[in-house]
Amino acid sequence: MKLIAVRSYDDYISAHIIMGRLKEEYINCYLQDENSVTTIPFLSNITGGIKLMVPEPQAERALELLQQFEQDQTHL
């Protein structure tokens, strides 16, 4: 199954919060390069950060949810 990077993060806290919110919505996802970026932060520029990966069939729904989460955050 092909996986798509839907977002990239510089810190693991933000990445885990969003990953948890997607999992609550039954989106299968995981964080790629989390250990590398967390233990050696300068690798973030080289690897492209911590990537939130979802299966291709769920990517569209994941992007919709991410957009909704960002809108909710700006209304606080």
**Total count of domains within the chain:** 1
Digit-coded pLDDT (tens) for 5-31: 999 999 999 999 999 999 999 999 999
Long-range own/partner contacts, residues 59-67 (CB < 8 A, 24 or more apart): 59/4, 59/6, 61/25, 61/27, 62/6, 62/22, 62/27, 62/29, 63/6, 65/21, 65/22, 65/25, 65/27, 66/6, 66/7, 66/18, 66/22
Q: How far is the C-alpha of 1 from the C-alpha of 15, rounded, in Å?
A: 22
Report the C-alpha gap between 74 and 72 in whole angstroms: 6
- pTM, two decimal places: 0.89
Domain encompassing residue 21: 3-74
- At 3 the pLDDT is 97
